[in-house]
Amino acid sequence: MSDAPHILTDSHPVSRQKPALAVLALALLPTLAVPGAPSAGAQDAAPQPATGLASAALDADERAALDRVLEEWDRDDGPGLAAAVWRDGELVYAVGRGLADLERGVPITADSRFRIASTSKQFTAAAILLLVEDGALDLETPVHELIDELPAFEPPVRVRHLVAHQSGLPDYLWLMELKGLDDASIYSFDEALAVLARVTRTVFEPGARFDYSNTNYLLLAEIVRRVSGRTLREFAAERIFTPLAMTSSHFHDRRTELVPNRAMGYTRSDDPLGWELSMTPLELIGDGGVLTSVGDLFRWSQDIRVTEDGRVGVLRPASVAQQLTPFALADGTPTDYAFGLSVRAIEAGTLVEHSGRFVGYVADMLHCPEAGFGAVVLCNHDEPNPPALCARLLRALDLDLASTTVDDVADGPAEGRREPTRAPKSARQLRGIWMATDGGVVRLALVRGSVRLSGPAGRYDLEPVDADALHFASADGGTVLRAVDTHLELTDPSGAVTRLERELPPASDATYLDAQFAGAWHVRELDEIWTLRRREQRTWAYDVLRTRGTPGRVAVEGARSASGPFGTLMWRADGERGWRLWSESFGLLHLERPGAAPDAAPSDRAQRVPGDDGR
């Protein structure tokens, strides 16, 4: 649920336009049995060929090669995994390794059901596509028109921004964790929505960049409910799982529900058995929540294909094509993300993947719909690397995962290519916090020879223009940073120039600092009270105490700034009584003294500061 997607095949994912879908015939498999396979109840279950293609069957050497990939997990004293491989549209390998239930010694089989975390997102996205097919939903609809509790952001967050992870909405899991509610806590969708409804700005302009946020798919699940009149669990069961005979699959939205053949989730511990349960009582779905088996995921993989007759499964051919087409950003920059899937081109067609990681479960599904090959690995502990295992399983059968394109990388400088310039040593003096003269704040750091500028308006990696001057620019030349006497000038793509001045050192008077930091603070967006208490014998360090959850820490860095709790940047603009707290993960929060009126809105000029738009 919290894992971002990635295509892990020992190479970096490449953004490419999807080629046309091949026309391939197929049949869905009704069972996981195969002639000559171990009897029912054994850990290994090989499939019955569905299309009669002899080329799909495994020989002894191929099966041994697949077994070697998984041999580390072939044990009877710990959790493990289930894996499946298909070729030419036929399931040729389905096995279980390790234990599904350590207390009872129950082995994992090919029929074991696992929580698949963020791998669930493709089913949520498919439900959205089905509503679009029905004419009940338009991807261009602003989200606040469908979920009216949310603010009407300007520019609006649209449904397609949610699907593409381009909304700029902060991840609700982060926000709830800031409230002291983690994955072992119990809270409802309405509680999560109440927090999101208090978010007054997106982290970036919708469509401006890809930023993986579980909020997007949590809200898509609610959109399915409000548009269709059925919960996502009910809608997916009726329109996806039942038609495809995925009898081991459901969105798990009731924590007390018993699930046959469930593999319990585990993590390492100091207990005598070396493991402890790692489960979640959360009933929120959409961003995760599917429980399923490797066989069911094979059946689903076959739905993302097109036959000569057109429609094969639950989606029409045009919707399948849309499902596998990556979104572009507002400026036309391509991404690898489609409808709940990472996609890139390979020689055989399209390589499709989405991984997942939540509590004691990790998962990955990697397949090529056109060629009909793929693999899935589902684990009930967090140590394996399912994306790498899927790639290794496919390569063990000599299936080609190579991209159809070659990255623009050469051993030496090519004609017309400028070798990168490293920042001069004097650039080290730029590190730290800088304040804009009209209220903004940015942090500068050196990262692999470049200057990284980060703040509420975004993050920019600026390369040196030359090796002898403090002069840096973004790759497109739109953002420029240069040293001018004792300050910096930051020019944004519109040509607006902002003056940045070094933050003054912090005061050393403990009484003064306590007046600035110590005591109770109301976090507006979370509707929570945080109490800051100075650590003993530490002048510039404060503990952040919350009603729930572990304490955070504030480290005072300057006269108006600090490293806030949980990896944030914290600052106070001139004339403000409270503090602003910002992170790339959850955006901007405001800390105010309980009962105090909010600070007056900053001027329009302040809203144009690259470090902060003032809201």
CB atoms within 10 A of CB 247: 14
Sign (positive or negative) of CA dihedral 12, 13, 14, 20: positive
Looking at the structure, do residues 463 and 353 belong to the same domain, yes or no? no
Query: 195-252, pLDDT tens digit by residue?
Result: 999 998 898 899 999 999 999 999 999 999 999 999 999 999 999 999 999 999 999 9
What's the pLDDT at 69? 97
Highest mean pLDDT among 166-175, 410-419, 556-565: 166-175
> What's the CA gap between 461 and 473, in Å, rounded?
8
Query: Is it the case that residue 43 has pLDDT exceeding 80?
Result: no
Backbone φ, ψ for residue 366 (5° rounding): -135, 120
Residue 272 one-letter amino acid: P
Give a yes or no: residue 495 inside a domain: yes
Q: pLDDT class for 47, splitting at 50, 70, 90? A: very low
Mean pLDDT, to the nearest integer, of 135-157?
A: 97
Query: 76-104, pLDDT tens digit by residue?
Result: 999 999 999 999 999 999 999 999 999 99
Looking at the structure, do residues 528 and 485 belong to the same domain, yes or no? no
CB atoms within 10 A of CB 79: 28
Residue 44 one-letter amino acid: D
Looking at the structure, do residues 391 and 433 belong to the same domain, yes or no? no
Query: Is it the case that residue 49 has pLDDT exceeding 60?
Result: no
> What's the CA gap between 548 and 303, in Å, rounded?
44
Instruction: Please report, for residues 149, 188, 289, the alpha-carbon distance to residue 253 in angstroms, rounded to integers and kept in the order given.
Output: 22, 10, 7
Among all chains, which residue has been given the structure tokens 């391939």?
Answer: 24
Residue ending a domain, among 453, 472, 502, is: 502
Among all chains, which residue has been given the structure tokens 């997607």?
Answer: 5
Highest mean pLDDT among 46-60, 138-152, 182-196, 311-325: 138-152
Looking at the structure, do residues 268 and 351 belong to the same domain, yes or no? yes
Residue ending a domain, among 446, 476, 502, is: 502
What's the pLDDT at 11? 29
What's the pLDDT at 457? 67
Looking at the structure, do residues 291 and 340 belong to the same domain, yes or no? yes
Looking at the structure, do residues 515 and 489 belong to the same domain, yes or no? no
Query: Is it the case that residue 60 has pLDDT exceeding 80?
Result: yes
Looking at the structure, do residues 491 and 525 belong to the same domain, yes or no? no
Query: 350-377, pLDDT tens digit by residue?
Result: 999 999 999 999 999 999 998 999 999 9
Query: Strands across the sheet with 81-87, in order?
Result: 90-97, 81-87, 373-379, 361-368, 349-358, 342-346
Looking at the structure, do residues 314 and 440 belong to the same domain, yes or no? no
Domains contained in the chain, number = 3
Q: pLDDT class for 609, splitting at 50, 70, 90? A: very low
| Three-state secondary-structure class, residue 426 | helix
> What's the CA gap between 229 and 134, in Å, rounded?
14
Residue 274 one-letter amino acid: G
Output the six-digit token pair for 469. 């001057």
Give a yes or no: residue 142 inside a domain: no
Looking at the structure, do residues 310 and 382 belong to the same domain, yes or no? yes
Q: pLDDT class for 455, splitting at 50, 70, 90? A: confident
Looking at the structure, do residues 251 and 366 belong to the same domain, yes or no? yes
Looking at the structure, do residues 524 and 582 belong to the same domain, yes or no? yes
Looking at the structure, do residues 450 and 530 belong to the same domain, yes or no? no
- Specify the CATH number for the domain of residue 386: 3.40.710.10
What's the pLDDT at 598? 58
Residue ending a domain, among 396, 414, 442, is: 396
Q: How many CA atoms lie within 13 A of 258 on its CB side?
A: 1
Output the six-digit token pair for 140. 């261009």
Q: Give the structural domain span for 572.
A: 510-607
Mean pLDDT, to the nearest integer, of 342-347?
A: 92
Instruction: Please report, for residues 61, 125, 206, 456, the alpha-carbon distance to residue 330 in angstroms, rounded to integers and kept in the order given.
Output: 49, 20, 8, 20
> What's the CA gap between 190 and 184, in Å, rounded?
18
Query: 569-607, pLDDT tens digit by residue?
Result: 888 876 677 999 888 778 888 999 998 765 544 333 223
Give a yes or no: residue 336 inside a domain: yes
- Specify the CATH number for the domain of residue 498: 2.40.128.50
Instruction: Please report, for residues 33, 271, 303, 421, 475, the alpha-carbon distance to residue 443 in angstroms, rounded to integers and kept in the order given.
Output: 59, 43, 48, 22, 19
Contacts for 386-389: CB closer than 8 Å, 24+ residues apart = 386/81, 386/355, 386/362, 387/6, 387/7, 387/8, 387/9, 387/353, 387/355, 388/8, 388/10, 389/69, 389/70, 389/81, 389/83, 389/364
